[in-house]
Structure 1
Amino acid sequence: MELKFSKRNQILIVRIQGEIDHHTCEHMRVAVEHNFEKIRGKHMIFEMSGVDFMDSSGIGAMIGRYKVAKCMGGKVVIANPNERVEQIFRMSAMDRIISCYPNLEQAIQHLEGGK
């Protein structure tokens, strides 16, 4: 798994390439929390077009990041999910707490209040 980080205002943008599973989710958790603290973030966007696979450990990692952002008064959203990721979100009911947007700009606009 490869992670790339960027920021926009108080939004941490995480671009993920590869698999989110029990082998990689701890690395993702540590790296995301480090970068979130570093930018003094409020919201997180996970850009997931490059995610090949996600198991239950990945779902747990996403829910954990949701809880971290929620404690800061923020939100976590998904941008550009491929069909497989969307299916996992629907089947696990994660789509009820973490919104999905078809592209990064729409996710940013949502978090910035529709600007």
Structure 2
Amino acid sequence: MYGGDFLIITTRIKNATLIVKMTGELDHHSAGPIRETVDRIIMSGGVKNILFDMSSLSMMDSSGIGMVIGRYKLISADGGKVSIFAKTKTILKILKMSGIERIAPVYDAIEKAEEYLDA
């Protein structure tokens, strides 16, 4: 778990999926610690897929999109997948505008995001 000034990150592994829950603001200040945390967990083994839980984010900038793309490249190199759970209008709009759904599908229910990764 990492707690910055504006972002709290919690992680857990479920069925070889790393679930990364973010609460607060995902910006250029907080994207680095997420990258480091997720990369360290992936490199330690036992993770096939990543689910980014953005349901509690209040703000995200392009650094957040870049962080997801970088983790997608890392996990997909070994045949893994990435999905995103988001439900706030602001975050959904940013994700849609970025085109991230082409590589990491966005779902409005965490169960749907998990089902995609389990398929």
> Which whole-Å CA distance do the structure 2 matches of 1:95 and 1:75 have between them?
12
Q: Tell me, which stretches of 5 or more residues in structure 1 are unaligned? A: none
Q: What is the TM-score with the length of structure 2 in the denominator? A: 0.88
Match of 1:37 in 2: 43
Computed over aligned residues only, the root mean square deviation of the Cα atoms, in angstroms, reads: 1.2
Distance, in Å, in 1 between the alignment partners of 2:47 and 2:10 is 16
Q: Which consecutive residues of structure 2, in runs of 5 or more, have no partner in the other structure?
A: 1-6
Other-structure match for 2:63: 57
Which TM-score applies when normalising by structure 1?
A: 0.91
Match of 1:86, SS state, is: helix
Query: d(CA) in 2 for partners of 1:70 and 1:23?
Result: 25
| 65-74 vs 79-88, greater mean Cα deviation | 79-88
Is residue 96 of structure 1 aligned with residue 98 of structure 2?
A: no
**How many correspondences in the alignment?**
113
Q: 2-side partners of 1:38 and 1:82: how far apart?
A: 32
Q: State the alpha-carbon separation in 2 of the partners of residues 80 and 104 from structure 1.
A: 8
TM-superposed deviation, 1:39: 4.7
* Cα distance in 1 for residues equivalent to 2:44 and 2:8: 19
CA shift at 1:90, angstroms?
1.1
